[in-house]
Chains A and B, each alone.
Chain A
Amino acid sequence: MKEHMPLISNTKCECGHQNPVGTVLCEACGKPLDEKEWNSSENLEMRYDGVARRSQRVGPGVIDRVWNFFSSVKIAIYLIVLTLLGAMLGTIFPQESTFLNIDASTYYQETYGTAGNIYYRLGLSHTYESWWFVTLLVMIGASLVICSLDRVLPLYKALTRQKIRKHRQFLTRQKLTLVTQVEEEPEVWVARIVQPLRKKGYRVRTEGGALLAEKHRFSRWGPYVIHIGLIIFLLAVLARGLPGLNMDQHLAFPQGETVKIPDTSLYLKNEKFTVEFYTEEEMPEEFRGIKVLPKLYETRAVLYECTADCTDPSKEPQLTEVARHDIQVNSPLSYQGLKAYQFDYDLTPVLRSVQPGLTNSSTGEIYGKFELDMKNPQRSFQAGPYTLELKEKYMDFGLSDEGQPVSKSPYPNAPAFLFLIKGPELPAGGQQYFYFPKQIDKEQFQQSAINDKLGGSGRFLELEVGSMSDVDFSESTTYLNVRVDRAMPFVWVGAGIIMLGLILGFYWQHRRIWLTVDGGELVLGGHTNKNWFGFRREIVSILQKIDMTVDEKSLDNGGGLA
């Protein structure tokens, strides 16, 4: 970047110091550089100690113009206010993202009428993902970086190179100032006040009859620390959008089953899901019999890692336990950045397996029992002299428009099995037999009528479950939200830095006192970035220590710059 040489050389102060263009107060003695300022008695503009910032160069190029735009606090405030207004708009109606399954193009019209339709058409139903909102956030990010850089470097320079003796105008035009008579010799008077200042925590430097006392300078870096924290935070949030850093799935885990977590080599077993409600005694009287309040949702979960045979479908994967946790709403399972949160549950029992027996309906003879697993049934079974071959499996039985049997979903809501039975007294090609393990499905889909059609009138074989002990249910299903979010540590680091900066900047104040004693006259000026009230009080008490009584209010030069 090209350095611009100052074209006009009125930046040289009468004290001999050459200041860069844009300087308001001489870097050395603090005298205002603008001649028009000399006769004024208004408070000085003390922001950034009146030093020149990069954005104040003359004859800016394109990059300088962009820099200047983002370095303006005014622009930053506009960006904050626009973001604030945009964020408000997004809360008028629920955002699309709060629904799992809607057609947004009709939902808003139907639910909220014309206003809803306009809301949707303006794109406000996804405000926070919209290009303009994201652009605003990115612009705030740019403003944070550039505003900080533009100010922190000159300010750092100014504060590390402070001169002790300041111009009289600099002192009398501070918001806090005092001009009074002293009788002692300058050096003697100055030496007397050093100790009380040090006691209050000031670092004091003197130069003959001049003095500079300063404390808590670090508080000046507070805002910049906040901005660094915000930048880290914003970058971390942006990084969450990168592939591979983020995983978010909602999975169902029936009790007692081990389910693979997609895209990982991990399996999670729900050993037991518990839901508890408060008893009548635990509830306030007013609620008894009216309200039901949940007390606990808990999934006893075990996490396994697959160590071998992970991809071979013909073999059982070999699993090693890696973590175990009782997952509750505020207590997720955590393993190497993967977290499983309690999300939802379903108490509808899910059929896992049955042990039907093959019986002869005319004689009542039972040929044999076998175990039929709903999810992974064997291909063939033996019951006495009969062989049952599994031809088709339907997890959620239904009929297609053409009247063909189909499975409506992969969930075992209405499982159905089509067997081909071979054996004595059956046709050579075998006999087809439809089996619905659930009683309700048997009746609804008319199992016997179907089988009568398939096997004809001479049919004598039936599959029947003898007792409830032959039925295996999973009592409930827990739904877990399984997440990986590799950017989270950076989000927290950013938040931590923001807090640190806030505490530095808001709970301490940078206080400086300059004074000169010259020809029997004491001129004192004081500056702080916040809390003038406390500062005035402190100066009064310090002066009190050397037997000088000053009224707090008389120190105030007016102007109200806080």
Chain B
Amino acid sequence: MSLLDFSSDVFIAAFFLYSGAFMLFTIAIMGRRWSGRKPEEHTARWGRIAFIASSLGLLCHLAYFITRWMGSGHIPVSNMYEFMTFLSMMVMVAFTVIFAIYRKIILGVFAVPISIIVMAYAAVFPQEVQPLIPSLKSIYLNIHVTLAALGESFFAVGFAAGLMYLLRTVDFSSKERSDRKQQRLVEFTLFSIIVIIGFLGSVFAFRGAGYESVFVRTNVTIDSPGQGDSTIEKVSYKMPPIVAPYHSEIESFQSFLGIKEPLFEAPSWMNGVNAGRKFNTVIWSLLSGLILYGILRLAVRKPLGKAIHPVLDGIDENDLDEITYRAIAIGFPIFTLGALIFAMIWAQVAWGRFWGWDPKEVWALVTWLFYSAYLHLRLARGWQGRKSAWLAVLGFLIVMFTLVGVNLVIAGLHSYAGTD
């Protein structure tokens, strides 16, 4: 068995160990009211087992990382697959650090799934080892990418704790206007997470079924009078096309549930063929997210926030507030060093300018400014607790946009990261 095969095997092992750890953490918290048990003892015992499982998962994950590094000859953070697998590992590292400090079993119920989701997202991208292009051959690939990911992972744990704070403190039975607003916002946040799960579900379901439809588009550009130039662009859909690329023709179409052609065409301002495909993916994610959300709602018969709220009963909200703040305070210097300072050093060495207002650079700065504002606001009275928790949630949204959204929507110099 080659190193790379071993690497992908332990990666899968890590995935299942994390999933198991998540379930064990959930049992540790949910099972404390089971009959015939002392709640504290139950939580402590199952929590310990869960933490052992998640730590074993992390060890497997590290083994994946090291063997892939050895097998490929370069640090495996060079494309979107490798970066996302690394980010999920760092989320577990950040979780382990914060867990070691605060020993809150409940943190596992919220932080471990983030890592699992990021891991699953990694699997959306091509997994082959690619040789490094000249611009990535640098020691700063090792430093910049890893430190940035570690800093962002602490923000992820801050997000988990912030969300827990909200689920703990929002009054889900109140009919007051301000409480209703909070309830709706929490529900929307949970829904967004479910849409991401829906996206992953539909990607893997259609991939498993081997779905493909192909569209072609002929672009005619007129260079100079009388001289036309036509190029043919092809795009392959891996999900049934609800929406076709703008001005395109069907080359092959695999029917799905009796649908024989796309339901409509992308608007003209989505001019790339891939824009249509991405739009189609968004529609599928929303659809499957809605279905999944609907099923969950039918199962619990109340808003999800209200359903989760009792899980957090008895957890000290001040501790959650402090964990949120502490995770961000630990992550902030690491993020600054990795995502800004080493990014500038590398940009200076590779491109001759330390800062060029490239979209990725700007969004790293936006993330940094956002968390700076957060840290300054913590000084002010009235910004601890609720508002601060919302900022931690919003901040992680900015982090994810910087990592994923910029590549999907804006591209720029970091485009070698590749996206789907």
Please report A residues at the B interface, Cβ cutoff 8 Å. 45, 47, 73-74, 76-77, 80-81, 83-84, 87-88, 90-91, 94-95, 97-98, 112-113, 115, 127-128, 237, 248, 278, 282-287, 293-297, 328-332, 339, 341-343, 481, 483, 488, 491-492, 495, 498-499, 502-503, 506-507, 530-534, 553, 556, 558, 560-562
Residue from A47, A91, A506 in contact with B359 in the complex, judged by beta carbons closer than 8 Å: A91
Return chain A residues, CB-CB under 8 Å to B206: none
Q: In the bound complex, do residue A283 and residue B134 qualify as a contact, i.e. CB atoms below 8 Å apart? A: no
Residue from A127, A492, A562 in contact with B325 in the complex, judged by beta carbons closer than 8 Å: A562
Return chain B residues, CB-CB under 8 Å to A248: 352
Return chain A residues, CB-CB under 8 Å to B325: 530, 562
How many Cβ-Cβ contacts under 8 Å join chain A to chain B?
A: 147
Tell me the bound Cα distance from A243 to B234 in angstroms: 50
Q: In the bound complex, do residue B380 and residue A74 qualify as a contact, i.e. CB atoms below 8 Å apart? A: yes
Q: In the bound complex, do residue A91 and residue B410 qualify as a contact, i.e. CB atoms below 8 Å apart? A: yes
**A73-B380, A503-B333 given; A294·B352 CB < 8 A:** no
**A531-B326, A560-B384 given; A73·B376 CB < 8 A:** yes
Given contacts A98-B358, A534-B101, 19 further A-B contacts (CB under 8 A): A77-B373, A84-B373, A87-B369, A91-B359, A91-B410, A127-B357, A278-B131, A283-B130, A329-B350, A330-B349, A341-B352, A495-B344, A499-B341, A502-B336, A507-B330, A531-B322, A560-B318, A560-B321, A562-B378
When C-beta atoms are compared, the residue in chain A nearest to B348 turns out to be A488
**A330-B350, A562-B321 given; A87·B134 CB < 8 A:** no
Interface residues of B in 299-325 (CB under 8 A from A): 316, 318-319, 321-322, 325
Return chain B residues, CB-CB under 8 Å to A498: 336, 341
Return chain B residues, CB-CB under 8 Å to A506: 329-330, 332-333
Interface 1/0 per residue, B127-160 and A, CB below 8 Å: 0111101110110100000000000000000000
Show 11 A/B contacts (Cβ-Cβ < 8 Å), sorted by A.
Answer: A87-B362, A88-B363, A91-B362, A481-B352, A483-B352, A491-B354, A498-B341, A556-B318, A560-B318, A561-B381, A562-B325
10 closest A-B pairs by beta carbon, nearest first, are A284-B128, A502-B333, A330-B138, A329-B134, A341-B352, A84-B369, A91-B359, A80-B373, A560-B384, A128-B357
B276 at the A interface (CB under 8 A): no
Q: In the bound complex, do residue B135 and residue A329 qualify as a contact, i.e. CB atoms below 8 Å apart? A: yes
B379 at the A interface (CB under 8 A): yes
Count residues on chain B whose CB falls below 8 Å from chain A CBs: 62
Return chain B residues, CB-CB under 8 Å to A287: 128, 130
B351 at the A interface (CB under 8 A): yes
Tell me the bound Cα distance from A295 to B318 in angstroms: 54
Return chain A residues, CB-CB under 8 Å to B381: 45, 561
Return chain A residues, CB-CB under 8 Å to B66: none
Tell me the bound Cα distance from A294 to B134 in angstroms: 7
Q: In the bound complex, do residue B377 and residue A97 qualify as a contact, i.e. CB atoms below 8 Å apart? A: no
Please report B residues at the A interface, Cβ cutoff 8 Å. 101-102, 126, 128-131, 133-135, 137-138, 140, 269, 316, 318-319, 321-322, 325-326, 329-330, 332-333, 336-337, 341, 344-346, 348-359, 362-363, 365-366, 369-370, 372-373, 376-381, 384-385, 406, 410, 412
Q: In the bound complex, do residue A77 and residue B352 qualify as a contact, i.e. CB atoms below 8 Å apart? A: no
Q: In the bound complex, do residue A47 and residue B379 qualify as a contact, i.e. CB atoms below 8 Å apart? A: yes
- CB of B241, distance to nearest CB on chain A (Å): 24
Residue from A45, A87, A97 in contact with B366 in the complex, judged by beta carbons closer than 8 Å: A87
Return chain B residues, CB-CB under 8 Å to A532: 322
When C-beta atoms are compared, the residue in chain B nearest to A93 turns out to be B410
Q: In the bound complex, do residue B337 and residue A296 qualify as a contact, i.e. CB atoms below 8 Å apart? A: no
